[in-house]
Amino acid sequence: MHRRLATGLTAAALAVTTVAATAAAADAAPADKAQVLASWTQTSASSHNAWTAARANKSAWSAYGFDWTTDYCSSSPDNPFGFPFSTSCARHDFGYRNYKDAGTFSANKSRLDSAFYEDLKRVCAGYGGATKTACTSTAWTYYQAVKVLG
Protein backbone atom coordinates (compact mmCIF):
# COMPACT_ATOMS: atom_id res chain seq x y z
CA MET A 1 0.00 0.00 0.00
CA HIS A 2 2.76 2.44 0.93
CA ARG A 3 4.70 1.53 -2.22
CA ARG A 4 1.67 2.28 -4.47
CA LEU A 5 1.02 5.57 -2.68
CA ALA A 6 4.67 6.60 -2.97
CA THR A 7 4.74 5.66 -6.68
CA GLY A 8 1.54 7.63 -7.28
CA LEU A 9 2.84 10.67 -5.46
CA THR A 10 6.16 10.52 -7.31
CA ALA A 11 4.37 10.32 -10.68
CA ALA A 12 2.12 13.24 -9.75
CA ALA A 13 5.09 15.33 -8.61
CA LEU A 14 6.95 14.54 -11.84
CA ALA A 15 3.92 15.55 -13.92
CA VAL A 16 3.55 18.86 -12.08
CA THR A 17 7.27 19.57 -12.46
CA THR A 18 7.13 18.80 -16.19
CA VAL A 19 4.12 21.08 -16.73
CA ALA A 20 5.73 23.89 -14.73
CA ALA A 21 9.04 23.57 -16.62
CA THR A 22 7.24 23.54 -19.97
CA ALA A 23 5.23 26.63 -19.04
CA ALA A 24 8.38 28.44 -17.91
CA ALA A 25 10.16 27.57 -21.15
CA ALA A 26 7.20 28.82 -23.18
CA ASP A 27 7.26 32.14 -21.29
CA ALA A 28 11.02 32.62 -21.58
CA ALA A 29 12.40 35.05 -24.13
CA PRO A 30 14.55 33.63 -26.92
CA ALA A 31 18.18 33.07 -25.95
CA ASP A 32 19.41 35.75 -28.38
CA LYS A 33 17.37 38.59 -26.84
CA ALA A 34 20.48 40.39 -25.56
CA GLN A 35 22.15 40.17 -28.97
CA VAL A 36 19.05 41.45 -30.77
CA LEU A 37 18.74 44.32 -28.30
CA ALA A 38 22.41 45.19 -28.79
CA SER A 39 22.08 45.07 -32.57
CA TRP A 40 19.21 47.57 -32.46
CA THR A 41 20.93 50.04 -30.15
CA GLN A 42 24.22 50.74 -31.92
CA THR A 43 25.27 54.12 -33.33
CA SER A 44 25.17 53.04 -36.99
CA ALA A 45 22.53 53.83 -39.57
CA SER A 46 22.08 50.09 -40.20
CA SER A 47 21.25 49.56 -36.51
CA HIS A 48 18.73 52.41 -36.67
CA ASN A 49 17.18 51.00 -39.84
CA ALA A 50 16.92 47.49 -38.37
CA TRP A 51 15.19 48.87 -35.25
CA THR A 52 12.83 50.97 -37.37
CA ALA A 53 11.86 47.91 -39.42
CA ALA A 54 11.31 45.85 -36.26
CA ARG A 55 9.22 48.63 -34.72
CA ALA A 56 6.99 48.60 -37.80
CA ASN A 57 6.45 44.85 -37.28
CA LYS A 58 6.42 44.49 -33.47
CA SER A 59 4.26 41.37 -33.56
CA ALA A 60 7.09 39.44 -35.21
CA TRP A 61 9.20 40.17 -32.12
CA SER A 62 6.55 39.57 -29.45
CA ALA A 63 8.28 36.43 -28.10
CA TYR A 64 11.19 38.63 -27.02
CA GLY A 65 9.07 40.68 -24.64
CA PHE A 66 10.63 44.00 -25.63
CA ASP A 67 9.20 47.17 -24.13
CA TRP A 68 8.22 49.33 -27.11
CA THR A 69 6.52 52.07 -25.06
CA THR A 70 7.74 55.60 -25.49
CA ASP A 71 7.00 59.10 -24.33
CA TYR A 72 9.11 60.27 -27.26
CA CYS A 73 11.16 63.28 -26.20
CA SER A 74 9.67 63.38 -22.68
CA SER A 75 9.08 66.98 -21.64
CA SER A 76 11.06 68.39 -24.60
CA PRO A 77 9.36 69.02 -27.94
CA ASP A 78 9.26 65.98 -30.24
CA ASN A 79 9.77 68.19 -33.29
CA PRO A 80 11.67 71.25 -32.07
CA PHE A 81 11.65 74.07 -34.63
CA GLY A 82 10.09 71.58 -37.05
CA PHE A 83 12.94 69.06 -36.85
CA PRO A 84 11.41 65.56 -36.63
CA PHE A 85 13.21 64.09 -33.62
CA SER A 86 10.39 61.84 -32.39
CA THR A 87 11.67 58.59 -33.93
CA SER A 88 15.15 59.23 -32.51
CA CYS A 89 13.58 59.79 -29.09
CA ALA A 90 11.50 56.61 -29.43
CA ARG A 91 14.59 54.49 -30.17
CA HIS A 92 16.39 56.10 -27.24
CA ASP A 93 13.43 55.23 -24.98
CA PHE A 94 13.49 51.68 -26.34
CA GLY A 95 17.13 51.29 -25.37
CA TYR A 96 16.69 52.84 -21.92
CA ARG A 97 13.60 50.79 -21.06
CA ASN A 98 14.93 47.46 -22.29
CA TYR A 99 18.40 47.75 -20.79
CA LYS A 100 16.82 48.78 -17.47
CA ASP A 101 14.59 45.69 -17.71
CA ALA A 102 17.68 43.57 -18.41
CA GLY A 103 19.54 45.07 -15.46
CA THR A 104 22.41 46.29 -17.67
CA PHE A 105 21.48 49.94 -18.14
CA SER A 106 24.59 51.46 -16.54
CA ALA A 107 26.89 49.48 -18.81
CA ASN A 108 25.00 50.64 -21.92
CA LYS A 109 23.84 54.21 -21.15
CA SER A 110 26.77 55.96 -22.81
CA ARG A 111 26.30 54.01 -26.05
CA LEU A 112 22.53 54.59 -26.01
CA ASP A 113 23.07 58.33 -25.61
CA SER A 114 25.66 58.30 -28.43
CA ALA A 115 23.26 56.37 -30.68
CA PHE A 116 20.60 58.98 -29.90
CA TYR A 117 22.95 61.77 -30.96
CA GLU A 118 23.89 59.94 -34.18
CA ASP A 119 20.18 59.46 -34.96
CA LEU A 120 19.54 63.16 -34.42
CA LYS A 121 22.48 64.08 -36.66
CA ARG A 122 21.07 61.81 -39.38
CA VAL A 123 17.85 63.84 -39.20
CA CYS A 124 19.87 67.04 -39.53
CA ALA A 125 21.82 65.69 -42.51
CA GLY A 126 18.68 66.19 -44.59
CA TYR A 127 18.95 69.95 -44.26
CA GLY A 128 21.42 72.48 -45.60
CA GLY A 129 22.89 75.84 -44.68
CA ALA A 130 21.61 77.70 -41.66
CA THR A 131 18.76 75.22 -41.19
CA LYS A 132 21.23 72.36 -40.85
CA THR A 133 23.29 74.40 -38.39
CA ALA A 134 20.20 75.11 -36.30
CA CYS A 135 19.19 71.45 -36.40
CA THR A 136 22.67 70.27 -35.41
CA SER A 137 22.76 72.76 -32.52
CA THR A 138 19.37 71.53 -31.33
CA ALA A 139 20.54 67.92 -31.64
CA TRP A 140 23.59 68.72 -29.51
CA THR A 141 21.36 70.29 -26.86
CA TYR A 142 19.10 67.20 -26.78
CA TYR A 143 22.15 64.94 -26.56
CA GLN A 144 23.62 66.92 -23.68
CA ALA A 145 20.30 66.78 -21.84
CA VAL A 146 20.09 62.97 -21.98
CA LYS A 147 23.78 62.58 -21.27
CA VAL A 148 23.51 64.63 -18.08
CA LEU A 149 19.92 64.07 -16.98
CA GLY A 150 19.38 60.59 -18.43
- The catalytic residue positions are 92
**Do 67 and 96 meet the contact criterion of CB atoms below 8 Å apart?**
no
Residue 133 contacts by C-beta under 8 Å, 6 or more apart in sequence?
none
Per DSSP, the chain holds a count of helices (H) and strands (E) of: 6, 0
The SS3 call for residue 111 is: helix
Q: Return d(Cα 2, Cα 143) in angstroms, integer.
A: 71
- Directed axis angle between helix 86-102 and helix 45-56, to 10°? 90
The amino acid sitting at 78 is D
Q: Return d(Cα 22, Cα 14) in angstroms, integer.
A: 12
